[in-house]
Chains A and B, each alone.
Chain A
C-alpha cells in the first residue's frame, strides 16, 4: 500500500532529507533555540562589554533580578549574572562544539582508515580503540586531565580524546557497510564515476549516522564541560562558565535561587535544543526509525 509521493526521482536525496528535517517541529524548535542562544552569545561583546558588566562591586552584592539595572541580579561579588551567563555560554557551547569537531575529525581519520584499508591496519587500530573503550569516558577524560592539568584547552582535548573511540567505530562501520553494499556495486556497474558515487550514494547514506552521533554527543559534551567546571577540573573561576557559575554560587543558591536556576536552565535548554536537532536528523536520514 505505497503512498503516492509525486515522482521522488526528481528530487535528490539531500533535498528529501532537508524536507523531512524541516517538517519535524521539535527539530525546528531546536534549531531556532540553538540559533537564538548562539546569536546572543556571539554578539554579547557588541551589547554587553565584558569589562563594564563583569566587575566586582561590593556595594551591589546579591542584588535580586531587576534591582539596580541588573536584569538577572548579581552574585556574591556584585557581578552581573546575565553578563556572566552570556559569556559563560561561549565556553560551554563553543567549547562543546570545538570538542566535537576535534573528536569528529580524529574519529573520521581513524575509523575511515580502518574501514577503507582494512587488513592489519584495521586490526591494530580497532584493538587500540577497544582498549580505549574499556575505560568509561569520564574516567578517561579525567586521567588525561591529570596529565595535562586543568584549564579550558586541556579540558577540550581530554573530552575530545575520550569521544574518539565512539566516532571511530561509527565511521568504520559506515564505511564497511557501504563498501560492500549492492547498490554501490550497481551504481558502479551502470557506469557511475567514483566521484558521483561518493557524492550521490555514499555521502547521503553513510554520513547520516555519523552526523547524528556527533549531534547527540554534543549534548553530552556540553553536560560534561559544565560538570567538570562545577567539580573544579575544568574552567576555573573567575572565568565564567555555566558549571563554574553554579559552583561559585553554591552557598547562596538556597536564598538566591536565581543564581543556580539561570545557568542551570541555560545548560538544559542548550542540551535539549541539540538533542532535538539530533533526533530530527536521525529521523530525516533514516525515515524508517521514525513513527
Chain B
C-alpha cells in the first residue's frame, strides 16, 4: 500500500498549500503533512523535493517565496488558487457538442488521454460535452510515428533536439540538430519545421523518415520561436512545389481502363475497336512512366519516345528480375 500512502501524502500536501493564507515554511510542512514527520531530515528533504517535482509535472503550480522583505525567514511554499483553478467557462450546447466531437480526434494515446481529461474538467464545471454520441462528421488524426511525441514535447518546451533522418528513401540517414518550431500534418503526413542549426536555415523533416530516437540537445526554453506568420511562410516554402506540367504525352488506353488518365486528359479520340488515344500533360517522365506501368497491358505509351523507353525499362526490370 506504499502507493496509497504516497498518494495520500501528495493530496494532503496539495490541500495544505492551497488553503494556507501565505507561504508555508518547509519545517511547518514537515510537521503538519502526514508522512513527512517520521522521516529523517535527509530523507524528508529528498522526499519533499521529489513530491514537489512530480506535482508540478502533472500541472500543479507550486510557488516558492516569502513575505519577509528582508529574506531572513525560511522560504516557504504555496499554491495560488487563481493559478490552480480552472476559471469560469460556460459553453452553449452547440459549442459543447463540437468540443465533445473534437475530444475524440486524437488517436495518439497521450493526446487522447489529454483531451479526455480536459473534457472531464469542463464537465466538472457544468459543461455537458458528450464525447460518445455519433456525429455526422468524425475526425481522426494519428500521430503514431515514434518521433511524434518527443517532437511535440520539444516544440512545447522549446528544447533543441537531434535525430537521424533519411532524406529520401534510398539515402543514408544523417544526424540533424534542430530547434523545432512547429509540428504539422500535411497531406496526412507529419512533419517538423524548425531551425536547422548545422545548415543555419529553416528546414522541414518528415517524421516517418526519422530513424530511431529523437534526443534532447538543449535546455527547455533554449531558443525563441519566430512569429507564427514567419513559421507558416517557412513551412509553405519548404513543401514540395506544385509541378509545372508543360510536356504532353499520347497514350493508348483500353476502353474501360485508365480512369485516372482519362479524368485529366486534355484530349481523347477513338483509336480502333476497344482502344482510345488519350493526351495528357505531365512534368516528370519517370513519374508518368511509373503510373503507366501499373496498368500493365491496358495502357501503351505512344509518344514521346523517351516515355516509351522509360516504360520499357521499368517493365524489363521486372521480367529480368524474375528470370
- Tell me, yes or no, whether A binds B: no
Which A residues fall within an 8 A CB radius of B? Answer: none
Which B residues fall within an 8 A CB radius of A? Answer: none
